[in-house]
Chain A
Amino acid sequence: MRRVSAAARFVWEFVVGDDWRIAVGVVPALGLTALVAGAGVAAWWIMPLVAAGLLATSVWLAAGPRR
């Protein structure tokens, strides 16, 4: 059991890394892109917009004043 949880923790740290918000933000962005593209509307702009927002927010949280 301990090995399973250690492996799960390793995979989490390997993929998700230092800021879980990035991983949590990318998944719904892909879903939204699929929904918008499925409706026949141009959806290519969603991923760059979300990626830019996630990166800027993550850096700002690391650099900004501590709350």
Chain B
Amino acid sequence: MTGSELGLALSVFAACAVETVEAVTIVLAVGMTRSWRSAFYGVGAAAVVLAALTAALGPALTALPLGVLRLVVGGLLLIFGLQWLRKAILRASGLKALHDEQAAFEREREAAGGAGAVGGGIDGYSFAVAFKGVLLEGLEVVFIVLTFGANQHRIALAAAAAAAAVVVVTAAAFAVHAPLARVPENAMKFGVGVMLTSFGMFWGAEGAGAHWPGGDAALLAIIPLTLGFALALVAAARRWAGGALHSGGDRSPVHA
């Protein structure tokens, strides 16, 4: 496995693990409160839609000329990565509330409990909530699998890394029978944001016709430099927010 393939596998695994933690919280809440069977049907239906999307869009993307693919996908990956990184920086600096899996679980359980009686057949509420939760979290994973995988023509490797993350996180959640509140979600999102941003810059520039000094080896400099810059921004954001507080601004953490 080459260095960029390892980067691909690790990035997809981490991104998928984070999204799976959030999806599992939703499924656990409706399953434990209402109907496991209906929740699993919802998960299955969403998985079919996500697999169909990957199977349909993957070959279409890899059929594009490499330059066009890298330009479009690199640009999208950079936009996506900068948004992940921005959110992770704001959370790490205390400007945005950390995602609280236990609180999300309690909210979902309360909503599921107040959604009327559970019937004998398929419970529409459990099905719909599980389907929507898995589909929405899964779309981000599909996007990352397709963009990362297509650029290196390794969609199968990206899909395998995503599947491994789903298996590991789901097994862990069902083993403890509770939401995985202790997973360091923001640190993982920070890492994924750094990788998406780094690969986005690299591929976007290559797709636009630029040549990196050292070729693929430039990533070995781009990734740590991006990480260092993002960490510096965490410290700077704390200072900027401190200045805002001293000048009378309202900077209470925003809940996601």
Contact = CB atoms under 8 A, between A and B. Distances in A.
Contacts of A31: 208
Interface in A23-67: 23, 26-27, 30-31, 33-34, 36-38, 42-44, 46-48, 51-52, 54-56, 58-60, 62-66
Given A18-B83, A30-B71, A55-B85, A62 B205 contact: no
B244 A22 contact: no
Interface in B188-237: 197, 200-201, 204-205, 207-213, 218, 222, 225-226, 229-230, 233, 236-237
A54 B80 CA distance: 13
A35 B252 CA distance: 43
A63 B90 contact: yes
Contacts of A43: 205, 208-210
A63 B75 contact: no
Contact of B210 (A15, A17, A44): A44
Q: Which of A23, A46, A59 has the most CB of B within 10 A?
A: A59
B76 A15 contact: yes
A18 B87 contact: yes
B233 A56 contact: yes
B211 A63 contact: no
A46 B205 contact: yes
A19 B139 CA distance: 20
B210 A62 contact: no
A16 interface: yes
A59 B233 CA distance: 8
Looking at chain A's contact residues, the main secondary structure is helix
A63 B93 contact: yes
B213 A44 contact: yes
Which size class do B's interface residues fall under? 35 or more
Contacts of A15: 76, 79-80
B83 A22 contact: yes
A30 B230 contact: no
A36 B222 CA distance: 20
Contact of B82 (A36, A42, A51, A65): A51
Contact of A22 (B79, B89, B240): B79
Given A18-B86, A19-B86, A34-B209, 4 more contacts: A22-B82, A37-B209, A65-B249, A66-B250
Contacts of A66: 244, 249-250
Nearest to B197: A51
Contacts of B233: 55-56, 59
A57 B143 CA distance: 26
B16 interface: no
Contacts of A48: 201, 222, 225-226
Contacts of A56: 233, 236
A47 B230 CA distance: 16
Given A51-B197, A55-B233, A27 B209 contact: no
